A = this chain, B = another copy of it.
């Protein structure tokens, strides 16, 4: 009884021996690492039969904290994926702790935005850094979120700054597993 055109499209990230994006490095920042892979491929839908070193899946779903005002600001500034000049990219899987998920919606929102400024900080880096969030938690995946970022190589410094600011925030005290996978589009 699965619907034919899912309203929350499933995206599968495949770490393998061939693919579209060449993996430059995989760094385990917090928690258990993942095994190495040479290439990263991004597939629509499931890919259980794809040859792989690892597979990470997430659904492109609705935003969980964004207010209507923030949503308007984001929509006005955020670029599409697939820009020709955006040949650098990163896949950052994170998992949040049981303590985070035990918080109520208002408590999570207060940490996420009122205190950590997640959306406000992210807005400063638009339209340089394109971003797509994938929700994995309800899928029984090892990570809660997979965030995919695309940018021109000249904006790598800005991207590092964005990550450093988020990682220094109160919200990140609840991140108990984080992998940073850097890739570039080849050919």
Residue pair B68, A107 in contact (C-beta under 8 Å): yes
Partner of A104, one of B34, B56, B71, B105: B71
Option from B98, B105, B142 in Cβ contact (under 8 Å) with A67: B105
Q: A54-B1, A55-B1, A62-B101 are in contact. Are A106 and B140 (CB under 8 A)?
A: no
Contact of A138 with B135 in the complex, beta carbons under 8 Å: yes
Q: Which residues in A have some Cβ–Cβ distance to B below 8 Å?
A: 1-3, 6-8, 10, 34, 54-56, 59, 61-68, 70-71, 98, 101-107, 109, 135, 137-142
Closest to A108 in B: B62
Q: Which residue of B lies closest to A60 (CB)?
A: B138
List of B residues within 8 angstroms of A34 by Cβ: 1
